[in-house]
Amino acid sequence: MKVNEYLTAARNAVSFPIEELTNFLYDGTKNTARHRWLRSLIAPEKEPILDTSDTVFLDREQRYVRNMQIIKRLLQIKKQHNLSYEDWLILLILLGEHSPILLHDSLFVGTLEGQMSKEQLDKWLPLAENYRIIGCYVQTEMGHGSNIKKLETTSTYIRESDEFELHSPTLTSMKWWPGSLARTSNYAVVMARLIIDKKDYGIHSFLVQLRGEGHKPLPGIEIGDIGPKLGYNNIDNGFLRFNKVRIPRTNMLMKFSKVSSSGIYSTPPHAKIVYNTLVGGRADIISKAAYYLAAVLTIAIRYSIIRKQGNKFSSQDEFQIIDYQFQQYKLFNGLARSYTFLFTGRFINTLYIENIAKMEKGDVSLMSELHAISSGLKALCAELVCESMEDARRCCGGSGYSSLSGIPQYATYYAQYPTSEGENIILYLQTGRYLLKSFQLVQQGKFTGGIQLSYLMDFDKILYKKFSANVKEEHILHPESQIETLRHRYIYLLSNLSSSLEKSSRIHPNNNNSNNNNNTLKEAEAKSEHMIDIINVSRAYCYFILLLNAHQGLQSVKKEHPSLYPSLRSLIDLFFINVVLSQFGEFLITGYYNSNHIDLLKNLQKGLLKKIRVDAIGLVDAWEFSDNMLNSALGRYDGNVYEEMYKRVKMDPLNLKHDKGIYVGYNEALKDIISGDYLKEIDNSERNNNNFSINKAKL
């Protein structure tokens, strides 16, 4: 394989062993070897059906059929090689082809495992794991998404038959958006209002069969596809409407909440325990943010090394566009974010697993904190990934706009996340409200929260800190100094917000006004008036958590992978500098920095860009994304960009479908436009007093 000379030179200049970074990314040499072996099983040279290079030319129906063919073959590979469930999930991700089956394996099976009793799991889990039943997670309705408490679908207990009756009482109660619902799933976990003897017990989970023999919808079930989307179109997002559909009482997921045959309801240990699937979904988005952003940056950085544009000042040779400072700023900002997300992804996964273990023992003490942290981090990570993907696309110039670059597919796929698994603004507000509540408890000396919010302690001392006007560069970039800077900013904003809310609502911590409902209403109205401020506090807190986890992770890197530390440290330093410079007004307001510091920060930023330029190719190559997964003419490992672009356009059906050089559209209409015959058709219709129309081309 001939490799582009500029890529070869860039790889030779990398300052660290790329193999060591790969082992760090995949958590050890054994896992790296496992990933490589799994990747070899799905190489398109061995498995032509898994070749993704023509998928951009397929329509929705063709993409869905191809996806099902791919999954069928992957399941055969899984069986042939006796792959574990974990290996299977890795295989799906390594292929890079988003599948309805992945939603079954993650959301559906994950909900069964998290919310079913042991007796229920013994019955249903083997069926789900062997794909005898294929399921989806059905929550969002046409009228309500993030506001789960307002979902309208009902599940009423019928004592006489020991059944639940599911019903969609209104048009807006119709389930709308669930992935793999429209064509793939024959079962679903449905979130619905539990009704017993006309009493509403809130939202609970129910296992519902959707399709029967021949995969046909069962009586009382209306189901279909919601149509084309911005991206993600090989996933069959659907709608679902119930007309008094009966299911056995034992199909309610009863690990925590229970309903007896006599209609007696047993409450869960925590009111929000039913939302654990959502928390898991948000944790998954956070943990994969680094991966998907790194894939897009791999394309853009490789192309930026290969692409030349603009003559150098001292010769007729052209610049590699990677050497333009603004190109570096855009791409390396994304690269810094990606590695920052990596550390926080590991943190949130650990916290989520810890919470699951606690819940198994009936301990829900971590639930509220995990919900608050995962909500805000999901929102910020999704926001920043989308922003950096768009930056990467623009850095590829006109070629980035082409689907052949691979970037539009990633960008439109990821564009769902600011609104799926919880709309970002709602999530920021949830995190902000939790921060406010915790801050008030700290002020009252009653705070007993978790580790992450313990950074609120000593808030009054933190607020008086500020940098000297003559501070040195090494002091600004010291890890503890960076952490304190973002901590100071979020606590300052939180303290000001808390004071503003007190003034707006006329409620004080020690107010014993007996009219609690009136006080609560005033407080809610005050929060509504300060919504922007609450969101800003939440974002500031999440930036702090991202940086904190990154520096804590770097300490392990320094001990276990010292050769990687300088390069990864430069990325985290750049992340910090970019946060401060992009939001410098807030740091001025807090008094932590003054206007004299901005030039120093900018100089630090420029120096970091030069450092990262040397290692950029190694920082993306280490992920070892296959060409088949990236599905990009621009991001090939060998750098043969222009040959691949030409090869792929020759595959376009529009270039293949022609009659001796005459392409589709010419005989249908273009011929008449060029010849002027379209005017004759108007004249003829007027002479004959006929209505004139043009027949639509058949699809």
Q: What CATH number is given to the structural domain containing 513?
A: 1.20.140.10
Residue 103 is assigned to a structural domain of this protein: no
328 and 384 fall within a common domain: yes
CA gap 664, 684 in Å, rounded: 26
Q: How confident is the model at residue 390 (pLDDT cuts 50, 70, 90)?
A: very high
What are the pLDDT digits (tens) for 19-33?
A: 999 999 999 999 999
Q: How confident is the model at residue 463 (pLDDT cuts 50, 70, 90)?
A: confident
Query: What's the total number of domains in the chain?
Result: 3
Q: How confident is the model at residue 268 (pLDDT cuts 50, 70, 90)?
A: confident
Residue 98 is assigned to a structural domain of this protein: no
575 and 469 fall within a common domain: yes
462 and 596 fall within a common domain: yes
Task: Tell me the β-bridge partners of 663.
Answer: 658
Q: How confident is the model at residue 697 (pLDDT cuts 50, 70, 90)?
A: low
Catalytic residues: 421
Residue 630 is assigned to a structural domain of this protein: yes
CA gap 375, 539 in Å, rounded: 11
Contacts 24+ apart (CB under 8 A), 388-391: 388/293, 388/296, 388/297, 388/333, 388/334, 388/337, 388/338, 389/293, 389/296, 389/334, 389/414, 391/330, 391/331, 391/333, 391/334
Instruction: Tell me: is residue 179 an annotated ligand-binding position.
Output: yes
312 and 227 fall within a common domain: no
* Top-confidence residue, 696 or 609: 609
336 and 209 fall within a common domain: no
Which span out of 552-561, 661-670, 678-687 was modeled with the highest average pLDDT? 552-561
Residue 108 is assigned to a structural domain of this protein: no
Among the candidates 267, 300, 334, a domain finishes at 267
Residue 359 pLDDT? 83
Instruction: Tell me if 124 sits within 8 A of 207, measured CB to CB.
Output: yes
End-to-end CA distance of the chain: 41
351 and 485 fall within a common domain: yes
209 and 293 fall within a common domain: no
Among the candidates 267, 296, 325, a domain finishes at 267
Length of the chain: 699
Residue 288 is assigned to a structural domain of this protein: yes
CA gap 444, 490 in Å, rounded: 19
Q: How confident is the model at residue 310 (pLDDT cuts 50, 70, 90)?
A: confident
Encode burial over 260-295: b for 16+ CB neighbours within 10 A, e otherwise. Answer: eeeeeeeebebeebbbbbbbbbbbbbbbbbbbbbbb
CA-based max dimension of the chain: 91
Note the Cα 605 to chain centre separation in Å: 28
CA gap 692, 314 in Å, rounded: 65
Among the candidates 216, 244, 267, a domain finishes at 267
Q: What is the mean pLDDT of the chain?
A: 91
Instruction: Tell me if 523 sits within 8 A of 504, measured CB to CB.
Output: no
247 and 303 fall within a common domain: no
Residue 99 is assigned to a structural domain of this protein: no
Residue 468 pLDDT? 61
CA gap 540, 265 in Å, rounded: 42
354 and 376 fall within a common domain: yes
H or E segment to which residue 637 belongs = none
The one-letter code for the residue type at 81 is H
118 and 201 fall within a common domain: yes
1 and 14 fall within a common domain: yes
Residue 471 pLDDT? 72
CA gap 23, 33 in Å, rounded: 9
Q: Which residue has the tokens 């005017």?
A: 679
CA gap 617, 310 in Å, rounded: 22
Residue 368 pLDDT? 86
**165 contact partners, CB below 8 Å, separation of at least 6:** 154, 155, 156, 158, 244, 245, 246
Q: How confident is the model at residue 443 (pLDDT cuts 50, 70, 90)?
A: confident
Which parts of 508-635 fold into alpha helices (H)?
A: 516-529, 531-560, 565-582, 584-590, 598-621, 627-630
207 and 316 fall within a common domain: no
Q: Which residue has the tokens 């510091």?
A: 597
Residue 199 is assigned to a structural domain of this protein: yes
**346 contact partners, CB below 8 Å, separation of at least 6:** 287, 549, 553
Residue 393 pLDDT? 98
Q: In the predicted model, is pLDDT for residue 613 greater than 50?
A: yes
Domain harbouring 198, CATH code: 2.40.110.10
Residue 625 is assigned to a structural domain of this protein: yes
57 token code pair: 């030319």
Domain residue limits at 182: 113-267
